[in-house]
Structure 1
Amino acid sequence: MRSNALIVVDVQYDFCEGGSLAVVGGLGMASRLAAALRDEAFVGRYDVLVTTQDWHIDPGAHFAAAGQVPDFQTSWPVHCVAGSDGARIIAELDDAVAGIETIPVIRVFKGHYSAAYSGFEGVTGDDERLLDRLRSDGVTDVDIAGIATDYCVKQTAIHAADAGFGTTVLQDFAVGIDDADVAALYASGFAAAGVSVRHR
């Protein structure tokens, strides 16, 4: 029997307009996804909902050193510091998540002491790895939404496919940083990694 999870990756204030590492379109996507999560038919596709958050305590070289310019490849401005406002999930989306009572909601935190682009590098509040939790819940397939398509969404999708889950990125509910990189992923990159793409 198939069991489906929706993984919502890093829809946090620091990754949306006005944040320290803003991705254009983040707030609009958060609003669309919040509306979808208030739709019983959409939520009814899933048996589990996962949210991931960057939750940096001391991630080392992932943050550019004081006085240095980030290269925006491996080093980044300070963002999503654990417990900060910037690390919070966008309120409209978080309220929609909190309103879901029909399926379990798993909250995952990642990147405490490392970069951790993939949600599968994160743990729950009980220090349970996401992979272990999904397997214990009998999940076979995952849909992935969130920020950013060409970084954390991509890595989460690749890790999901590598772990044997049927994996799909929901294009309407994902926004990216580099237009060319995102286009290449949708053209062939996701398929080459065993990841499907669907509009919603």
Structure 2
Amino acid sequence: MSVVEFGGLCRALFRNDVGKPYHLDARKLAEMFSVFDKNEDGYLDREEFKMCWSKWIKTIVRPVSAFLIVDVQNDFINGSLAICNFQAQQKGEEVVPVINEALDTIKFDVVVYSMDWHPNDHLSFVTNVLKYPLHPTSPVKAEEAKTCDKVVYDGDPIKEQILWPPHCIQDSWGAELHPDLKIVDGALWIKKGHNPEIDSYSAFFDNAKISDTGLSRQLRQRGVTDVFVCGIATDVCVGATATHALDEGFRTILVDDACRGVCTDEIEKLKQNIMKANGVVINSTEVKSMVQGRDRRPELGYKLAMRLQETSQ
């Protein structure tokens, strides 16, 4: 298969659910071809195409999907850290019917619920700021710190921390998932932020990426290729989770209308960063056709090809 023929293959491959082809960037097309052209002769021989088929095309047309529902908990909706009280004034409860509709109508291979699960003495709580030593570079002194201030805690490593009201305390009402959120059988559960000395926004790692939750391993054990991320808050825990999903090599999709966030500018910045990293941002109405492999995005194909290149080196 020549470069020209590979381009024709990609134009047939990357189409939406009604058969309209997506635009293909010429540079990225050439980079994807080079991933499979191992001997660099400008042609995919039988063995090279077999690898292209088994490692790349099969994933694109038959993805294995995980629906990752991040922190749809009472405290973020109408409790101590309700996001409606922040700059964007978004209502966290609005994600619930969107998520429920997706769970009712789409057959995901894996469903994951993540939850903040903090002890009373967690360092992210503004009420605990005097309990942990601050680094000399901290822009705010402990005695003057208020909610939403950023401090720098001493330690190895030193840790930047935004201070929040006490929230999602283990076994409290605030830590419970919203009562109207649909819970499916056989889901994976990730509880994060239980180490009092470091915060954990992402469902994959703590904020310093020192320890992991085991989620990446569990998804790989189940053959997951595509991670659809939603929940609260877009520019905090959802964003950290999507970013780490990309870092871990998963084809990552942010379901925009199933998320609500804190700061308008930060929400937009997060979405732009996801797209720059070859993730995609979609509406929930587009999820089903992507899960079924009928809507095939070139960004995700490129992301997979680059991952294959990384892992083969």
Q: Is the pair's TM-score, using the shorter chain for normalization, greater than 0.5? A: yes
Q: Which runs of 5+ in 1 are unaligned?
A: none
Q: Which of residues 93, 111, 114 is equivalent to 1:27?
A: 93
Partner of 1:81: 169
TM-score (norm 2): 0.55
Alpha-carbon deviation of 1:140?
A: 1.1
CA deviations 1:3-57 (Å, max 9, x no partner) are: 11000000000000x2111123111211321233222xx2x1x100000000001
Q: Judging changes above 3 Å, is the alpha-carbon distance between structure 1 residues 145 and 91 closer, same or farther for their aligned structure 2 residues?
A: same
Alignment-derived partner of residue 131 in structure 1: 216
Q: Cα distance, 1:154 vs. partner?
A: 0.6
Partner of 1:166: 251
Question: Separation in 2 of the partners of 1:163 and 1:36?
Answer: 24
Alignment match, 2:192: 110
Task: Give the structure-1-normalised TM-score.
Answer: 0.84
Q: 1:193 aligns with which of 269, 277, 282?
A: 277
Tell me the amino acid that sits aligned with residue 70 of structure 1.
T
**Where does residue 15 of structure 2 map in the other structure?**
none
Bigger radius of gyration among the two: 2
The 1:60–1:50 alpha-carbon spacing in structure 2 relative to 1, beyond 3 Å, is same
Q: Quick one: structure 1 residues 164 and 106, their matched pair in 2 at CA, closer, same or farther if it must change by over 3 Å?
A: same
Q: Residue 148 of structure 2 corresponds to which residue in structure 1?
A: 71
- Alignment match, 1:180: 265
Shift of 1:177: 0.3
RMSD of aligned C-alpha atoms? 2.0
Q: Which structure shows the higher helix fraction?
A: 2
Q: Which residue of 2 aligns with 1:10?
A: 71
Please state whether the residue corresponding to 1:61 is helix, strand or coil.
coil
Structure 1 outlier segments of 4+, above 4 Å: none
What is aligned with 2:103?
37
Q: Amino acid of the residue matched to residue 68 of structure 2?
A: I
Q: How many residues align?
A: 184
Q: Secondary structure at the match of 2:194?
A: coil
In 2, Cα distance between equivalents of 1:139 and 1:83: 30
Check whether the contact 1:59–1:115 (CA below 8 A) recurs between aligned residues: no
2:178 to 83, 90, 99: 90
